[in-house]
Structure 1
């Protein structure tokens, strides 16, 4: 009988946890009454994420939250090392995007081009000065920027895919066009115009530069270097009557003979191609960068 009473009382105690936390428990055993002081039981609960995996059920309870949370994390991870830059230089006007692998290495993909005749307007080949009258540059590139000391100093390298067309017009030096030590009468020769393009379809490049930060997100940069564009194809033609006669002289000033204007243009073309103007294309550029 005592066992039955104790069992019933124990069950009542377990079922009344709220009352146990505030009141003592009295157990009657025969003619004796014994009071027990119930101690409060502290139970800690930890909130689970809304999309936590339930190991017992084998499912994700909130798939929408899981996808949204994962997408946000992936987006933040992908975008935080990224940057965008705007630039101007000898390759043209352009922009690039970058992605930092770490504090020393950044991958870049960009494009520079447009009409660069207002950036560089002339060049010399021996004694003939050529004015750049028009140009159409397109230089997509892939490269890497390295910060050897993890500071503002950078070294760059990569590949350009050049597609650059340059229109030129020759100007005489004084009263003569000096071509291969022959002086052609400039007034009789008239205007010589032509075009240049590079043969290389892929052009490796290398640069050194600086990239200081001017805030949490903004920075500036400058680079110096060169790209190997390869040999050039050139065309030079006489404007007007190509069969008109031009007198030419040797260095001592004596008249050596005559040539047609078309023949003078052909000699200028040979000289221009032999010089391989811009076989090594100088790279000079400055710009600004925004880092996400």
Structure 2
């Protein structure tokens, strides 16, 4: 019975004094005394970290806005560092094919946010037939042959985050424009005079080139970019690029040939006091004085594929 009593007392004492488990415990029953040394009942261990020196980074999150037609970076990490900027550069939001007054071409777009896209593209080729293949400068009509090259860099902005867009950017024009004057009824009407075009004392053919002075041409457009599906869409834009003043060169086949003016009386006309080369210079001045050639119209349509 003494042993049972001692065991019960010892268990109670150990449970209530775990903090003093390292100290000896004395239990007394009548005249007998027994000493017990408590043992620790639990050992606590501190867990070591699984990975040292690294902090997990969230992966960029992208969301496609079907109404706006843009791919947005919802974490704002596009400009967050060299790695994410590089990833954005090699993963564009869309590619487009286009045709218009600047030529046939294509562009690549990167989405900076749900309203803004950065574009880089090129348009060129022989596009004279797209706008009729001719134009008038005062009273002279000119046929046009062209070879365009128009790389450009711009921004497309959606002010209300829908299909309506506003664009702006820079074109680097390298356009060859050849012109040839068309006589009207056998005469050229230049500098308020009517010169005989053909014959012994005629001006002959007048041919030349046009070149815009601006090496960088700013442009602005407005347009629409609705979506057909989550991946495919169409677009249209109108606007203008400031190409600067025009340098014209017009040459006569026989510049030293004296030419006559048609006075409406005799088939040969009367002497003008000018030669064909001087008449060509007058035609150059009329071409360079046309203000509309400074502002080159931009009209384009195309289709877009979004990734």
TM-score > 0.5 by shorter chain: yes
Matches within 5 A, 1:69-218: 78=88, 82-120=93-131, 121-132=133-144, 134-187=145-198, 188-218=202-232
In structure 2, the CA distance between the partners of 1:198 and 1:100, relative to structure 1 (3 Å rule), is: same
Cα separation, 2, equivalents of 1:156 and 1:227: 11
Matches within 5 A, 1:247-262: 247-249=260-262, 255=270, 257-262=272-277
How many residue pairs match? The answer is 231
Q: After superposition, give the CA deviation of every residue in 1:129-160 in whole Å (9 maximum; x if it has no partner).
A: 1101x322111111111111211111111111
Deviation at 1:57, TM superposition (A): 5.4
Deviation at 1:257, TM superposition (A): 2.4
In structure 2, the CA distance between the partners of 1:154 and 1:75, relative to structure 1 (3 Å rule), is: closer
**Unmatched 5+ residue regions in structure 2?**
12-47, 55-82
Deviation at 1:260, TM superposition (A): 1.6
SS of alignment partner, residue 289 of structure 2: helix
In structure 2, the CA distance between the partners of 1:214 and 1:76, relative to structure 1 (3 Å rule), is: farther
SS of alignment partner, residue 283 of structure 2: helix
Cα separation, 2, equivalents of 1:77 and 1:205: 29
In structure 2, the CA distance between the partners of 1:88 and 1:279, relative to structure 1 (3 Å rule), is: same
Cα separation, 1, equivalents of 2:163 and 2:265: 57
Cα separation, 2, equivalents of 1:83 and 1:279: 32
Cα separation, 2, equivalents of 1:87 and 1:197: 24
In structure 2, the CA distance between the partners of 1:147 and 1:250, relative to structure 1 (3 Å rule), is: farther
> Which TM-score applies when normalising by structure 1?
0.71
* 4+ long deviations beyond 6 Å: 250-254
- Structure 1 contact 83–99 (Cα < 8 Å) conserved: yes
Deviation at 1:163, TM superposition (A): 1.3
- Structure 2 contact 142–181 (Cα < 8 Å) conserved: yes
Matches within 5 A, 1:34-49: none
Deviation at 1:103, TM superposition (A): 1.8
Cα separation, 2, equivalents of 1:88 and 1:242: 40
Residue in 1 that maps onto 2:280: 265
In structure 2, the CA distance between the partners of 1:151 and 1:251, relative to structure 1 (3 Å rule), is: farther
In structure 2, the CA distance between the partners of 1:57 and 1:291, relative to structure 1 (3 Å rule), is: closer
Q: Does 1:282 align with 2:297?
A: yes
SS of alignment partner, residue 162 of structure 2: coil
Cα separation, 2, equivalents of 1:211 and 1:75: 26
Deviation at 1:80, TM superposition (A): 6.5
Q: After superposition, give the CA deviation of every residue in 1:241-270 in whole Å (9 maximum; x if it has no partner).
A: 322221025799984624221121111112
Cα separation, 1, equivalents of 2:235 and 2:290: 32
Cα separation, 1, equivalents of 2:238 and 2:134: 20
SS of alignment partner, residue 213 of structure 1: coil
